[in-house]
Structure 1
Amino acid sequence: MVGRQQDAVDRLVTFLAKRDGIDKLVKTFQYVAKLAHWRLQAVGRSSLADRAKKWEVSCGTSRKAFRTGRFLAGLNALRSPYPNLCLQLLAILSNGGEVVYFFFDHLLWFARIGLLDPHLAPRMSFISAFGEGFGYIFFIIADLIVIRKGLGAEKQLRGELESAIAKEEEGGTDQIKAIMAKIRGIRVQRIMQFMAISANLADLVIALAEVEPNPFFNHAFTLGISGLVSAWAGWYRNWPSST
């Protein structure tokens, strides 16, 4: 069989084969449905608005099922070594919050489908959202620290690159390529961290809407856009490379 280069369909299949991939797709559906429900209600299309609401609720419930056991990833991350005490503490706080988030999200799912007392749902939702928001704050701080270190490393590499270019006639071509590859790697990593920060900020807004309700955070438009920003940042981060 003759091999062929991967195309968009191949990468989509790979993307959807991952739990995070299918979660981001359904999350996109969920928040598109939320925005559709809000808009259809505003124009008086109550029948279509009800359908959009059912789609949104169905997607939200489905995502909870997809995330079964996800809290174990946070527990596992707590066991990982980190380069310094600062990042270690941030990892404990961020992953600890994520463990609380996903564990109580499971209980919320059980309450909503009737496996547990449905009256427990509001309490489980609050605890889950609190853990989520708490964890995201420290994930964001950790990413900002790593970005700052990356900028410092890139600055140093640029200095080395200038020296290597000055010595190019003395056989420094390989060194130049190696330095440029490192710089590209730092830039790619920085983009991924910016995507992570965008997603975490958006999800933090959604969590705050549950923990501290207010007209801005709880508005359907705010929640819908925040959900889509988070979902699309996840698409970018998890989309398979073309190589």
Structure 2
Amino acid sequence: MANQHVDGLDKLVTFLAKRDGIDKLVKTFQYVGKLMHLYAQHRHPDVADRFKKLELASGIARKAFRSGRFLTGFNCLRKTTYPDWKVCGLAILANAGEMIYFFFDHITFFSRVGFLNPALAPRSCFYSAFGEGFGYIFAMMADSIFISRGLSEERRVRDKIRQLEREDPGNPSSTEMHKARARISQLRMDRVMRLCSIAACAADLIIAINDVEPNPFVSHPLTLGVSGLVSAWAGWYRLWPGV
């Protein structure tokens, strides 16, 4: 029993058991709905209306799923150890933005469902989006620093591998060689995950700008739909079990 094979369904169940996993699934529904509404609104208005309802309902549902999420950023700051002051400073700013984002997102949710005064929704949505965009900028900066440092470390590890090959060409499977190659694999995976994080943050930043300072480009349904799916699918990849 201990060696049972874990298949795709097992991974999907594990993925959907996480709050973030459900969020990415419903986010996919939301932005597929937006894109399909754009596609069908002039061809099949009745179908377009259904997709618009899917988009709106998914957006409200995601806000409900995120209840209490503003505490995550605070807890992250409280528990995480950072390698230096630069990363620590960026993490503080990124998590502060996230806390503002989720706190006002809760107010937006209660306003839009009618529990609070609906007039609060536009202002709370603005503050939420501002905090979101603010946090994502610093999160991307922190990820960029880690990617740069990872590339530098990978070059050093490659130099070490070449040195080991010169010193002991007849033993390519030595313990040191295995450790060095494993470290390179680890650095590459970390880089992929951070690139996914940057892609998701950049896509969500576009969506946040639409709420803070709308313009014809960021406010176009195609821009928002594609950005939402990029963010959702980057999150799928990062959260998928076994990746």
Give your verdict on TM over 0.5.
yes
CA distance, structure 2, for counterparts of residue 168 and residue 233 of structure 1: 42
Unaligned runs of 5+ in 1: none
Q: Decide which moves more: 210-219 or 3-12.
A: 3-12
Match of 1:70 in 2: 69
Deviations 1:2-33 (A, max 9, x none): 85311111100010001111110000000000
Q: Decide which moves more: 158-167 or 201-210.
A: 158-167
SS at match of 1:240: coil
CA distance, structure 2, for counterparts of residue 75 and residue 50 of structure 1: 40
Match of 2:10 in 1: 10
CA distance, structure 2, for counterparts of residue 78 and residue 237 of structure 1: 21
**Which amino acid letter does the alignment assign opposite residue 69 of structure 2?**
R
CA distance, structure 2, for counterparts of residue 88 and residue 4 of structure 1: 41
With over 3 angstroms needed to count, the CA separation of the structure-2 counterparts of 1:184 and 1:209, relative to structure 1, is: same
Unaligned runs of 5+ in 2: none
Deviations 1:141-191 (A, max 9, x none): 000000000000000001101011112257571111110000100000000
TM-score (norm 2): 0.96
Q: How many residues align?
A: 241
CA distance, structure 2, for counterparts of residue 169 and residue 81 of structure 1: 40
Match of 2:45 in 1: 46
**Which amino acid letter does the alignment assign opposite residue 68 of structure 2?**
G
CA distance, structure 1, for counterparts of residue 65 and residue 89 of structure 2: 29
CA distance, structure 1, for counterparts of residue 115 and residue 81 of structure 2: 38
SS at match of 1:42: coil
Q: Decide which moves more: 70-79 or 102-111.
A: 70-79
With over 3 angstroms needed to count, the CA separation of the structure-2 counterparts of 1:2 and 1:108, relative to structure 1, is: closer
TM-score (norm 1): 0.96
Question: Percent of counterpart pairs with the same letter?
Answer: 53
RMSD in angstroms over aligned alpha carbons? 1.4
Deviations 1:70-101 (A, max 9, x none): 11001112223311111111011100000000
